[in-house]
């Protein structure tokens, strides 16, 4: 460890680069402003509690990627994910929920409170709601050439401006098919499933099958990526007929997701269960829901955590 890094451990107001960090306290810190964190924030405000919500991207969460949400009550005709996110954020702002754009890099517990670190600030709070969702499994075993890395995506909301491109999607679950339907509105899509069977909702498969812009190829394993002489990307695949090379502009990995909790300090992990029992720490939404990752469940989790926090405070009073 260098001298700067060592001294930053003893001076909480300095980060490793030596820059000064702001420090503040909050009644409840919420990590993540997706549906779960926003619902927690809105419900806390109903009780007159002022939470601070921190989000790496500013808010909205994974739902920004959803093509059409048809199972969230209140929208009988369905609603595009980005539009539902806009409404969630609008409601949170109207309720007075403070949301700051900041990545939580460390969460620790000591001296009866949590310490939440971001690159520019340190937040102290007696209670924390973790609503950090999930992180995508990466195409790490492909050895992606550095010059191609900017053409690889794991979510599609950042691809909204791409038009007329050829895009390969690797995966066979709900997200892969949802991404395909979304991107096929403006591009040509090739879905690559390394298996025989799909693992998505039948209605998504049906819609993709009848979409002329989507080509579905099963039993296609991606072997590697190369740069073509014209600069475009070549996906090397092993298909039923042998090896094939498919030229594309972009590649999207939809290989499943894992809970996002890399910011928890090693010291906090063994104490987490005890802190939950004490009503100090809450897990809400996709980060805790295994395969049951749905917006309405995430929202319900967030509301319940806020109610529990309120009830804890009432007991203390
Ligand atoms: C393609 C697709 C289609 C979907 N369609 C539907 C559907 O039709 N119906 C449905 O009910 N659900 C759907 N979902 C699922 C839905 O999006 C999720 O269940 C929901 O977004 C989960 O909410 P969440 O708040 O738990 O997590 P997320 O939405 O993942 O939000 C987590 C937030 O935490 C932030 N964060 C993470 N780590 C940090 C950190 N270290 N510091 C600060 N912030 C951090 C992230 O930036 C993010 O904003 C779909 C998902 C996808 C991908």
Query: Does ligand 1 lie within 6 Å of residue 171's CB atom?
Result: no
User: In the Cβ-directed half-sphere of 110, how many Cα atoms lie within 13 Å?
Assistant: 9
- Ligand 1 centroid to Cα of residue 143, in Å, is 27
The kind and range of the H/E element at 198 are none
Nearest ligand 1 atom to the CA of 103 is 42
Nearest CA to ligand 1 atom 7: 69
Query: Does ligand 1 lie within 6 Å of residue 154's CB atom?
Result: no
So what's the pLDDT on residue 17?
54
- Ligand 1 centroid to Cα of residue 23, in Å, is 28
- Ligand 1 centroid to Cα of residue 99, in Å, is 16
Query: Does ligand 1 lie within 6 Å of residue 252's CB atom?
Result: no
So what's the pLDDT on residue 11?
42
- Ligand 1 centroid to Cα of residue 63, in Å, is 5
Phi and psi at 136, nearest 5°, equal -75, 145
Name which of 90, 97, 83 is nearest 37 in CA terms.
Answer: 97
Query: Does ligand 1 lie within 6 Å of residue 260's CB atom?
Result: yes
So what's the pLDDT on residue 61?
98
Sign of dihedral through CA atoms 201, 202, 205, 211?
A: negative
Name which of 129, 131, 102, 139 is nearest 117 in CA terms.
Answer: 102
The pTM of the full predicted model, rounded to 2 decimals, is 0.92
So what's the pLDDT on residue 143?
81
Nearest ligand 1 atom to the CA of 57 is 47
Q: Name residue, tokens 């794991």.
A: 154
Nearest ligand 1 atom to the CA of 72 is 11
Which residues have CB under 8 Å from 306's CB, separation 6+? Answer: 39, 40, 41, 42, 43, 44, 46, 47, 49, 129
Most informative mutation of 55, 63, 69, 169 for ligand 1 (most atoms within 8 A of CB): 63
Query: Does ligand 1 lie within 6 Å of residue 79's CB atom?
Result: no
- Ligand 1 centroid to Cα of residue 35, in Å, is 7
Domains and CATH numbers, the chain: 3-135+257-316 (3.50.50.60), 138-253 (3.50.50.60)
Nearest CA to ligand 1 atom 2: 66
Query: Does ligand 1 lie within 6 Å of residue 71's CB atom?
Result: yes
| 80: number of Cβ within 10 Å | 16
Beta bridge partners of 251: 152, 168
Query: Does ligand 1 lie within 6 Å of residue 298's CB atom?
Result: yes
Query: Does ligand 1 lie within 6 Å of residue 134's CB atom?
Result: yes
Residue 273 to residue 172: CA distance in whole angstroms: 35
- Ligand 1 centroid to Cα of residue 59, in Å, is 10
So what's the pLDDT on residue 142?
84
Mean pLDDT per 10-residue interval, the chain, length 317 residues: 36 52 94 98 98 96 97 98 98 98 97 96 98 95 87 96 97 97 98 93 96 96 92 92 95 97 95 96 98 97 98 73
So what's the pLDDT on residue 98?
98
């Amino acid at each position: 460890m260098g001298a700067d890094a060592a001294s930053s451990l003893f001076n909480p107001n300095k980060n490793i680069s030596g820059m000064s960090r702001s420090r503040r306290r909050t009644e409840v810190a919420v990590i993540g402003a997706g549906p779960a964190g926003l619902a927690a924030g809105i419900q806390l405000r109903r009780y007159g509690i002022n939470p601070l919500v921190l989000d790496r991207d500013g808010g909205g969460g994974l739902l920004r990627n959803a093509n059409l949400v048809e199972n969230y009550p209140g929208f009988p005709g369905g609603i595009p994910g980005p539009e539902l996110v806009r409404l969630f954020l609008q409601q949170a702002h109207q309720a007075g929920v403070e949301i700051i754009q900041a990545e939580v890099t460390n969460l620790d517990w000591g001296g009866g409170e949590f310490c939440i670190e971001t690159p520019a600030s340190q937040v102290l709070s007696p209670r924390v709601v973790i609503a950090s969702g999930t992180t995508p499994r990466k195409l790490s075993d492909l050895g992606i050439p550095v010059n191609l890395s900017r053409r690889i995506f794991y979510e599609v909301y950042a691809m909204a401006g791409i038009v007329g491109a050829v895009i390969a999607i690797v995966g066979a679950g709900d997200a892969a098919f949802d991404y395909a339907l979304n991107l096929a509105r403006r591009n040509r899509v090739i879905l690559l499933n390394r298996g025989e069977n799909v693992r998505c909702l039948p209605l998504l498969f049906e819609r993709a099958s009848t979409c002329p812009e989507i080509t579905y190829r099963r039993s296609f394993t991606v072997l590697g990526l190369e740069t073509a002489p014209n600069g475009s990307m070549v996906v090397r695949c092993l298909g039923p007929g042998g090896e094939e090379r498919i030229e594309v502009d972009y590649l999207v990995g939809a290989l499943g997701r894992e809970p996002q909790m890399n910011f928890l300090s090693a010291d906090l992990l063994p104490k987490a269960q005890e802190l939950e029992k004490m009503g100090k720490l809450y897990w809400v939404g996709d980060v805790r829901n295994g395969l049951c990752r749905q917006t309405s469940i995430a929202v319900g989790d967030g509301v319940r955590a806020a109610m529990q926090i309120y009830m804890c405070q009432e007991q203390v009073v």
